[in-house]
Structure 1
Amino acid sequence: MTTEGTTNPSASGSGPTRTTSAEADGPAILTSFTDGVARLTLTNPRRKNAINLEMAAAIEEFCDRVADDASVGVVVVDAAGQYFCSGADTRDLASSSADPASPEAVARTSAVYGAFVRVGSLPVPTISVVIGGAVGAGLNLAMATDIMVTTPDAVLDSGFLTRSIHPGGGHLSLLGRAVGWSATIALAACGQSLTGEQAVARGLAYAAAPAEELPALVDGLTGPAARDPELTRRVMTSARLELGPPAVSWASALEIERGVQMWSMSRKGKQAWSSRGPERR
């Protein structure tokens, strides 16, 4: 079944949602909700999908709908064109640099980074599809997802140092939890970058494959999660409680999982375990 509508949870339409950019060059965000899979596509390729305030607001609205729609079991974040995301829109950064301590500047940067936190806090698995590259806040968005898949030659670049600004949006923490201290310092303080293939080796990305193979790879990840959204959401809740940060002890993990596993077994029922019983999950 396919359901598509605006990022407003109370609205619906016949095609993918389009959030129109303030510029006249087309929609800034495209969303769809299909068979348990919610998809958010950045559609600002002329600026390498740089995130502006309008796009950040649309991401927040999309996250609201995902959180409220129990039929959604997994989220995919991708981008139009040949580049995932070049970071925050430099025009917004320039405006903020004029008076960075002003309430307007703080609100501007908080809006962009807050949207990424929402993606990273969703109750379902989130998958980013990085083609071409991800820089700065764009890398934050990719790292905010639970699973990153990429092309082998994509460039993953901290980018803040190049622009002579300090990392923001929890960038160091996001890097650190994925690649550890040394690689974090190499990227954020020493200006190094990783290819998609290197990112997989470092643990920053889950898999790297040619662009034409990524749709099948993503389908293999989304299919099982989307088939049983209720179970998937409960697994994600337990994963966040257990793995943190901070992670809990093994003994605590046993207790976190015990009740939810009993719920899933009760839902399954005794007869479902028999080869002569109902179809097994």
Structure 2
Amino acid sequence: MDYETIDYAVAGGVARITLNRPERLNSFNTRMHEELRDALAAVRADDSVRVLLITGAGRGFCAGQDLSDRAVAPGSEAPDLGASIERNYNPLIRGLRDLELPVVCAVNGVAAGAGANLALACDLVLAARSASFIQAFCRIGLIPDSGGTWFLPRRVGAARAAGLALLGDKLSAEQAESWGLIWRCVDDAALESETEALCGHLAQQPTRGLALVKRALQASWSNDLDAQLDLERDLQREAGGTADYREGVAAFLEKRPPRFAGR
């Protein structure tokens, strides 16, 4: 596919998706959803990819849904937003959460609506100090979608989640870090270098083991302790059979840096 709304590249074990509609603050339209589906399929099919990075072009990360893509003429029937979510947003969020490798997000500007929740669906979020997060749905009579009602209370607690969702206030990157919504806030000038360093580090790590960590953490929200202990046992058994585990032990005993292959 020739991409019009995103850029996709792979180098050094890192796949990079850049949302690329800067004139619209990288807001979602139908074409972008199609291209993101294709890019995620390419990530899953490429054994060389050890990390996925998502970021935005220009001065914004993603302003959410492009409302001009849903313009309704006077007297026309309202669009079925549930169908749009089922066709586009839910598969995108599920696809990111199910990827068996780390997903890093570099938020370079405003992340609003579904754009904010796209970032929260990633495993590690770095944000420029000038960036902000806005649950803008309430401003047009909608509810947070793209996982927003799931991510928010788990990251920041019920009271703060309600405030963000009901008021639609802008949350600075610094406050987002302080509240535990994201991993780190960094100076704008350092965002690219910090992101490259993080992705470079993850690309050298035992990818299969990290995928199992992701699976365990995600399951913990619905498991009781006994179920989680059983899952840890099962996943540890799987991890113990990997080539990376053998390499990690050998490197420790030989007092040398490990050379993980991601398998």
TM-score normalised by the shorter chain: which range applies?
0.7 to 0.9
Distance 2:249 2:98 in 1: 35
- Say if 2:160 is the partner of 1:176: no
Equivalent residue, structure 1, for 2:238: 260
Aligned-residue sequence identity (percent) comes to 27
Give the 3 Å change call, closer, same or farther, for CA 270–63 of structure 1 in structure 2: closer
Displacement after TM superposition at 1:191 (Å): 2.6
Equivalent residue, structure 2, for 1:212: 189
Q: Is 39-48 or 117-126 further displaced after alignment?
A: 117-126
- Say if 2:165 is the partner of 1:188: yes
Q: Which amino acid aligns with 1:186?
A: G
Q: Is the 8 A contact 1:159 1:191 kept in 2?
A: yes
- Say if 2:215 is the partner of 1:240: yes
Bigger relative contact order, structure 1 or 2, given CA contacts below 8 A and separation 6+? 2
* 2:100 equivalent among 106, 120, 123: 123
User: Unmatched 5+ residue regions in structure 2?
Assistant: none
Give the 3 Å change call, closer, same or farther, for CA 99–109 of structure 1 in structure 2: farther
Distance 1:194 1:237 in 2: 32
Give the 3 Å change call, closer, same or farther, for CA 255–195 of structure 1 in structure 2: same
Aligned length: 253
* 1:94 equivalent among 71, 82, 85: 71
Q: Which amino acid aligns with 1:75?
A: L
CA RMSD of aligned residues (A): 2.5
Give the 3 Å change call, closer, same or farther, for CA 253–220 of structure 1 in structure 2: farther
TM-score, normalised by the number of residues in structure 1: 0.80
TM-score, normalised by the number of residues in structure 2: 0.85
Equivalent residue, structure 2, for 1:80: 57
Q: Is the 8 A contact 1:152 1:208 kept in 2?
A: yes
| Secondary structure, aligned partner of 1:160 | helix
Q: Is 218-227 or 39-48 further displaced after alignment?
A: 218-227
Distance 2:128 2:32 in 1: 24
String of CA shifts for 1:117-163, please: whole Å, max 9, x gaps: 32232111111111221110111111111111111232210001112
Q: Which amino acid aligns with 2:152?
A: L
| Secondary structure, aligned partner of 1:199 | helix
String of CA shifts for 1:161-212, please: whole Å, max 9, x gaps: 1122222233211212211211110000123231000000011111111222
Equivalent residue, structure 2, for 1:35: 12
User: Unmatched 5+ residue regions in structure 1?
Assistant: 1-5, 7-17, 21-27
Distance 1:211 1:143 in 2: 19
Equivalent residue, structure 1, for 2:30: 53
Q: Which amino acid aligns with 2:204?
A: R
